[in-house]
């Protein structure tokens, strides 16, 4: 088990959940390659997490990048977390361009890196964690195609797990479905959008949500799931903790 923690790759590692996941993996003993497009946020993450965090300025949707990084680093843990902030508007105000934003970033990059993990392939015992969303279960009527894009991420996980089994690759594929939370960028936009729709301020909406999910809890959950091969492969996470998805 200690081997798989030697090298990790985290997409979208410069802010929000991704940064907290990178921090939790560094704490667990991993050298973490953290990918994002913005250099300044990555540099700040490096200052916070220290030399075990290796920043890589790149667009995670790039298929060639995915193949090259997986080949060069052969991570034991690959966390697919990068995501676009949805355009918050009712469906009649979405264009295909705004509606498909999560498909073009979240889903597209999960497909690229999942393919790379299977085609390389990663070593037996490696774990690929994709971050979907509770919206994949419940819908998200103001987020355009966000819920569908995250449902597709669940399917990609299941297809990849089957291919790993068929070829006896021993790669584990896990998906985490976080609840909306104002503590990271995507959820902050969601909370602002749903609060405006109801004509309340975001703090009122957050107070109704109960215990708020923190990025730190998401980071800890990723490490727990990686360490526990017997865990259910799909897990919802809320402020109350992890719950296997039936
Ligand atoms: N926050 C929530 O409430 C919530 C709930 C359920 C699911 N999720 C999911 O959790 C994931 C992270 O969300 P978050 O709220 O932590 O988001 P966030 O705070 O907005 O951070 C997004 C991260 O992804 C990076 N990123 C975006 N596009 C990228 C690209 N094309 N290539 C590389 N990096 C890219 C961003 O850096 P750059 O912009 O500099 O590239 C940033 O590091 C997303 O997939 C989201 O859908 C979030």
Question: Is residue 199 domain-resident?
Answer: no
- Cα(131) to centroid(ligand 1), Å: 10
If you ran DSSP here, which 8-state letter would residue 128 be given? E
**Residue 191 covered by a domain:** no
Beta bridge partners of 164: none
Let me know if residue 157 belongs to a domain: yes
Q: Tell me whether residue 207 is in a domain.
A: no
- Average pLDDT value over all residues in the chain: 97
DSSP letter string over 195-240? Answer: HHHHTS-HHHHHHHT-SPPPHHHHHHHHHHHHH-TTS-SEEEEETT
As beta bridge partners, residue 32 has 8, 53
3-class DSSP state of 57: strand
Domain total of the chain: 1
Residue 18 lies in a domain: yes
Residue 194: inside a domain, yes or no?
no
Question: Ligand 1 centre from 14 Cα, in Å?
Answer: 9
Q: What is the pLDDT of residues 71-127, one digit of tens each?
A: 999 999 999 999 999 999 999 999 999 999 999 999 999 999 999 999 999 999 999
Ligand 1 centroid to Cα of residue 38, in Å, is 12
**Which of these, 182, 131, 184, lies nearest to 14 by C-alpha position?**
184
**Does position 1 have pLDDT exceeding 80, yes or no?**
no
Is 204 part of any domain?
A: no
Counting beta carbons within 10 angstroms of the beta carbon of residue 110, is it exposed (0 to 12), middle (13 to 18) or buried (19 or more)? buried
Crossing angle for the helix pair 146-166 and 108-119, to the nearest 10 degrees: 10
Per-residue pLDDT of 128-178, as tens digits, reads 999 999 999 999 999 999 999 999 999 999 999 999 999 999 999 999 999
| CA 143 to ligand 1 centroid distance, Å | 14
Domain that holds residue 25: 3-181+212-244
Pocket residues: Cβ below 6 A from ligand 1? 11-12, 14-18, 35-38, 41, 59-61, 81-85, 105-106, 131, 133-134, 178, 180-181, 184-187
Q: Count CA atoms within 13 Å of residue 138 on its CB side.
A: 11
Alpha helix locations (H) across 92-184? 96-99, 101-102, 108-119, 135-138, 146-166
| In-domain check, residue 138 | yes
Q: Ligand 1 test: best mutation among 82, 108, 110, 193, most atoms within 8 Å of CB?
A: 82
Task: Give the pLDDT of residue 4.
Answer: 87
Q: How far is the CA of 164 from the centre of ligand 1 (A)?
A: 27
pLDDT at 2 over 50: no
Residue in the block written with tokens 């490696």: 126
Q: Best substitution site from 9, 24, 36 to test ligand 1's pocket, by max atoms within 8 Å of Cβ?
A: 36
Question: Using one digit for the tens of pLDDT, what is the confidence trace for 180-231?
Answer: 999 999 999 999 999 999 999 999 999 999 999 999 999 999 999 999 999 9
For position 171, which CATH number holds?
3.40.50.720
């Amino acid at each position: 088990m200690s081997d798989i923690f030697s090298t990790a790759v985290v997409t979208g590692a410069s802010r929000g959940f991704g940064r907290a996941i990178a921090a939790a993996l560094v704490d667990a003993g991993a050298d973490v390659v953290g990918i994002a497009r913005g250099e300044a946020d990555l540099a700040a993450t490096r200052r916070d997490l220290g030399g075990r965090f290796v920043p890589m300025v790149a667009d995670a949707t790039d298929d060639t990048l995915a193949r090259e990084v997986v080949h060069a680093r052969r991570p034991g843990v690959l966390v697919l977390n990068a995501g676009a902030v949805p355009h918050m508007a009712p469906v009649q105000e979405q264009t295909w361009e705004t509606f498909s934003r999560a498909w073009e970033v979240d889903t597209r990059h999960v497909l690229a890196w999942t393919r790379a993990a299977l085609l390389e392939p990663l070593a037996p015992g490696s774990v690929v964690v994709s971050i979907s969303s509770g919206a994949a279960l419940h819908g998200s009527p103001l987020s355009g195609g966000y819920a569908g894009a995250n449902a597709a991420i669940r399917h990609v996980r299941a297809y990849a797990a089957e291919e790993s089994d068929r070829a006896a690759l021993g790669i584990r594929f896990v998906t985490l479905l976080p609840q909306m939370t104002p503590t990271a960028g995507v959820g902050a936009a969601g909370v602002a959008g749903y609060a405006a729709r109801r004509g309340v301020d975001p703090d009122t909406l957050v107070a109704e949500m109960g215990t708020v999910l923190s990025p730190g809890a998401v980071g800890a959950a990723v490490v727990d799931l990686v360490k526990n091969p017997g865990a259910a492969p799909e897990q919802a996470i809320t402020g109350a903790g992890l719950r296997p998805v039936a």
